[in-house]
Amino acid sequence: MDAAEREALAEMLEPDLKPYHDRFARHRSLPQQGRGRDEVLAEMREMAELERDRWADGFASGAVYNGDPEHVAFLDDVYALNSQTNPLHADLWPSITKYEAEVVSMVAAMLHGGTAAAPDVCGTVTSGGTESILLAMKTYRDRARARAHGGTRQPNVVAPVSAHAAFDKASQYFGIELRKAPLHADFRVDVDAAAALVDDDTIALVGSAVQYPQGVQDPIGDLAALAAERGIGMHTDSCLGGFVLPWAERLGHHVPPFDFRLPGVTSMSCDTHKFGYAAKGTSVVLYRDPDLRAHQYYRTADWPGGLYFSPTFAGSRPGALSAQAWAALVTIGEEGYLDATRRIVDTAQEIRRGVAGIEGLALHGESLFVVALGSDDPSLDTYAVLDAMGRRRWSLNGLQSPPSMHLCVTLRHTQEGVADRFVADLASAVAEVRADPGTGGVMAPVYGMAASVESRGTVEEILRTYVDVLFRA
């Protein structure tokens, strides 16, 4: 794709990605005189209100996991109290180090850290699941380097093909070879195939609890046993499921062990800003012991600016977000998470039953709270159905290999009537596509190209242009 083609694509994307260009003032440089605060707030309130109904009314997959007005207002108050804080300056704001340490401790305890089997589990607060995963992979790489005394062998990580794209990002950022193990028909990783990919340069195995596409849990116990046998790290990615599975297990659902109860599990990622109901963006990365965590830290003793260290990638960080995470956890408590999980799982199962009754569609994978589906009729284009759902205001996640989509069920979907509306709209979308298979849309052709090896370069160029447009003022 040349520059002219990229620009033509950008012009096509711009109306959808930049709907406010012709509605509100655009600032490509600083105004000569600052605008009035009341005017700015009024403009921002108008945009917020324009965007509110789709997520608030339950049309979005994931994205907003709580959204209750009282909860949001409470978190807003917490942010206002802590808006100037920065944990880089722990002497000025020891409250933030208290909040972060306790968030880590509470999440670790939820995942069976601090028990006799895992007494030294520790971690840090991060900016989100991607940073948690990046940090864990960097930690294993740096530990391997230390053990090899600076050796230059190529480290590799073995992960399911369904593992989050952040593992691919870590591979690119840190020079780690990512070896991808295939899945069984139930979308869980093939442990034997993963074992065959392990060699003397493997620094860690990865499993998901749960994975993003279908919301299923990999056989973490088998992966952890393999990791222990081979003497390598084992990372359980629980960014999505970490605040659901522990409570679902207590509610009586079958949840195989996936956390620090398993001796082979040496690190985990768990997002407080998803089903922990904190504001975006905080997550927690956990390690079995402080010696492993130490490889995550950055510190230097010879900078003219003084002694410097940072536990995560950022230097300065918004302490208010950590304060919000702490406040969410301590006000919701165990009973609150149990109640939320009960409502979410019940709603997801109701939706799954409805989807199962729509001819031409099939559910993909067994999940407690993710509804993944695709066409089992060659004449019914899954991505055309996805486009049709978009025209009905639904913001669903398109998936590939196989062609599919999913709804990650949150508290917004537990509102009265939302589950029924989803099933009814899905049935209507299927009927629309059957009546007019050529129904226009953007997702079908793009995902169709992504399925072709020869066209993936073009799709990556499309993604590049998409991101470019996001940053056009």
pLDDT digits (tens, 9 = 90+) for 412-424: 999 999 999 999 9
Q: Render pLDDT for 244-288 as a digit per residue (tens, 0 to 9).
A: 999 999 999 999 999 999 999 999 999 999 999 999 999 999 999
> CB burial class (10 A; 0-12, 13-18, 19+) of residue 11?
exposed
Q: Render pLDDT for 327-355 as a digit per residue (tens, 0 to 9).
A: 999 999 999 999 999 999 999 999 999 99
Peptide bond into 402 cis (omega under 30): yes
For residue 1, the model assigns a pLDDT of: 79
Res. 240: pLDDT tops 90:
yes
Considering the domain 82-328 in this protein, what is its CATH number? 3.40.640.10
For residue 460, the model assigns a pLDDT of: 87
Residue spans of the domains in the chain: they are: 82-328
Amino acid code (one letter) for 41 = L
pLDDT level of residue 125 (50, 70, 90 thresholds): very high
Regarding predicted confidence, which is higher, 212 or 9?
212
Res. 456: pLDDT tops 70:
no
Cα–Cα distance measured from residue 80 to residue 279, given in angstroms and rounded to the nearest whole number:
13
For residue 5, the model assigns a pLDDT of: 87
Q: What is the mean pLDDT of residues 102-126?
A: 97
Q: Which of 408, 398, 406 is nearest to 450 (CA)?
A: 398
pLDDT level of residue 153 (50, 70, 90 thresholds): confident
What is the DSSP code (8-state) at residue 398?
Answer: E
Res. 402: pLDDT tops 80:
yes
Res. 448: pLDDT tops 70:
no
